[in-house]
């Protein structure tokens, strides 16, 4: 991050494809080509972990911190590998091209994956598969068993499983692994295929000098393989249920705060074993991505703890976490820590001190810049330092056009125009904010694809504190036009951010 660069935020699910959801197939490679053509340096995505319909298919709610979302596997690439015949994908349902219908996609791909696994079983020994299983056994064995047990016990939360299974009695687990071996191997197969398809895509991106920014949610879900496998790491009661949960106090996004409900880490236990689980998690992510953004970074310094019987996040308290010791241990393990700290919301001086100590860049969001008539407001471009990442907005914000049309107050628009030193039409407002970001001193600029396209509120990815109709937006293939590429390229070159191929 020592040179100027820019990139696009677009999650894999939002890519065009014939199968109802973006995947690692042909359009992922075409998007890399678009980034290369416009001389971008970065492609930022959202977490790649499995999603759950019970949590609105949010990539920030997952049953595993290590496993992968099999919905992103490309059927076209399965055909290339001869795990599927062309006839298997001939009768594709008429999926909506602009929004994901998760229920239909899940049912369709489940059927395809079943066929692919049956063909895989008939093939000769796959040494790459065996190597993958061995190298990832520290999480893969527990995750695959957890997935199969969830189905076996009618999707019940793991704490409601039979006591000997809930408490992981060794003899019972051995028996279950033998009994459920075929189903377990199918889950392993899909994890392997995902990893292989992702590795090919990342290699292609890196060859084009496009570097991938991944995303790590700080917390895991309670009903996850991680909590079932490592209950000692979390604040749980004698019935292994959380007595406190995570969230954030009231802020820009919600007057009552956000009650996420995730179990909270026992940092004393993590510290005693040298943060082994977190080191393994970072090690995996730094292989998958070139840089990682850590969501809710301030939770490493101090976290908002709410009693589990509360209905909102208002009645919580801040609790300190051992951030300096934690990151010192990571520095000993990793020569380079390419981390972006998500530092939005309530940020105290101690968080800033930790970020400065370890040189972690924070985030600047332009949609927050014009709400206060203060020349030193931290989101105004002239206040930026080089070591930061500038966004017009994030996946949690409205689009620029949506914000301007539906959310921006008259005084915010007045300050914006005063800062731009001109009036501008709403048809061009997104390009004006992109220009402000690009012309700043910040080393890195990331623009959501919706803002490059100038789309309105209908293209918003997520509405925090709501559980439905999120994460569904999709890019249309015809939206990546030559005039759009030329305009983005021109602005990238003019700002000195062009990646020379």
Q: Which residues are catalytic?
A: 295, 342, 396
DSSP per-residue letters across 421-444: TS---TTTHHHHHHHHHHTSS-SE
Residue 328 CA to chain centroid, in angstroms?
A: 25
Task: Tell me the C-alpha distance between 419 and 445, whole Å.
Answer: 19
Beta bridge partner(s), residue 307: 244
Task: Tell me the C-alpha distance between 473 and 286, whole Å.
Answer: 27
In contact, 119 and 84? CB cutoff 8 Å:
yes
Task: Tell me the C-alpha distance between 451 and 475, whole Å.
Answer: 12
Dihedral angle computed from the Cα positions of residues 318, 215, 465 and 11, in that order, rounded to the nearest 10 degrees: 170
Task: Tell me the C-alpha distance between 229 and 224, whole Å.
Answer: 9
Report in angstroms the alpha-carbon separations of 381 from 158, 429, 437.
48, 16, 7
Q: Which tokens belong to 276?
A: 């082994």
HEC secondary structure over 62-125: CCCCCCCCHHHCCHHHHHHCCCCCHHHHCCCCCCCCCECCHHHHHHHHHHHHHHHHHHHHHCCC
Beta bridge partner(s), residue 211: 42
Residue 259, SS3 per DSSP: strand
DSSP per-residue letters across 459-477: G----TT--SS-S-B---G
Task: Tell me the C-alpha distance between 51 and 53, whole Å.
Answer: 7
Task: Tell me the C-alpha distance between 361 and 343, whole Å.
Answer: 9
């Amino acid at each position: 991050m020592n040179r100027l660069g820019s990139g696009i935020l677009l999650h894999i699910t939002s890519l065009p494809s014939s199968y109802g959801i973006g995947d690692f197939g042909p359009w992922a490679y075409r998007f890399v080509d678009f980034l290369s053509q416009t001389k971008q340096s970065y492609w930022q995505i959202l977490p790649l972990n499995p999603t759950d319909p019970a949590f609105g298919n949010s990539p920030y709610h997952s049953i595993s911190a290590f496993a992968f979302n099999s919905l992103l596997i490309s059927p076209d690439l399965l055909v290339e590998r001869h795990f599927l015949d062309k006839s298997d994908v001939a009768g594709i349902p008429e999926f909506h091209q602009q929004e994901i219908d998760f229920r239909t996609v899940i049912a369709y791909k489940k059927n395809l994956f079943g066929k692919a696994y049956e063909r895989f079983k008939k093939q000769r020994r796959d040494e790459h598969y065996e190597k993958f299983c061995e190298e990832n056994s520290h999480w893969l064995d527990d995750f695959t068993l957890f997935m199969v047990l969830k189905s076996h016990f009618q999707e019940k939360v793991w704490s409601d499983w039979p006591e000997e299974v809930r408490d992981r009695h060794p003899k019972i687990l051995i028996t279950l692994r033998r009994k459920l071996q075929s189903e377990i191997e199918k889950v392993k197969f899909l994890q392997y295929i995902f990893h292989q398809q992702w590795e090919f895509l990342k290699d292609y991106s890196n060859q084009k000098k496009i570097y991938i920014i991944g995303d790590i949610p700080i917390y895991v879900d309670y009903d996850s393989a991680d909590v079932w496998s490592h209950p000692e790491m979390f604040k749980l009661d004698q019935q292994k249920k959380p007595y406190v949960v995570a969230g954030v106090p009231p802020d820009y996004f919600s007057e009552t705060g956000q009650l996420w409900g995730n179990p909270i880490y026992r940092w004393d236990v993590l510290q005693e074993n040298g943060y082994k689980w977190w080191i393994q998690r970072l090690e995996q992510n730094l292989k998958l991505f070139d840089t990682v953004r850590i969501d809710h970074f301030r939770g490493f310094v101090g976290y908002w703890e709410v009693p589990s019987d509360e209905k909102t996040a208002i009645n919580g308290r801040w609790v300190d976490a051992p951030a300096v010791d934690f990151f010192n241990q990571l520095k000993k393990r990793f020569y380079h820590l390419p981390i972006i700290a998500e530092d939005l919301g309530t940020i105290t001086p101690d968080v800033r001190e930790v970020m400065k100590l370890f040189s972690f860049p924070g985030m600047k969001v332009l949609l927050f810049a014009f709400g206060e008539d203060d020349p030193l407001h931290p989101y105004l471009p002239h206040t930026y330092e080089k070591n930061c990442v500038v966004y017009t907005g994030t996946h949690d914000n409205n689009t620029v056009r949506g914000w301007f049309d539906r959310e921006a107050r008259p005084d915010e628009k007045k300050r914006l125009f005063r800062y731009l030193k001109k009036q501008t039409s709403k048809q061009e407002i997104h390009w004006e904010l992109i220009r402000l970001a690009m012309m700043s001193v910040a080393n890195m600029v990331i623009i959501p694809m919706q803002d490059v396209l100038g789309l309105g509120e209908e293209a918003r990815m997520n509405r925090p504190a709501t559980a439905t109709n999120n994460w569904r937006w999709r890019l249309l293939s015809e939206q990546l036009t030559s005039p759009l590429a030329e305009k983005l390229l021109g602005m990238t070159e003019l700002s000195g951010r062009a990646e020379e191929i």
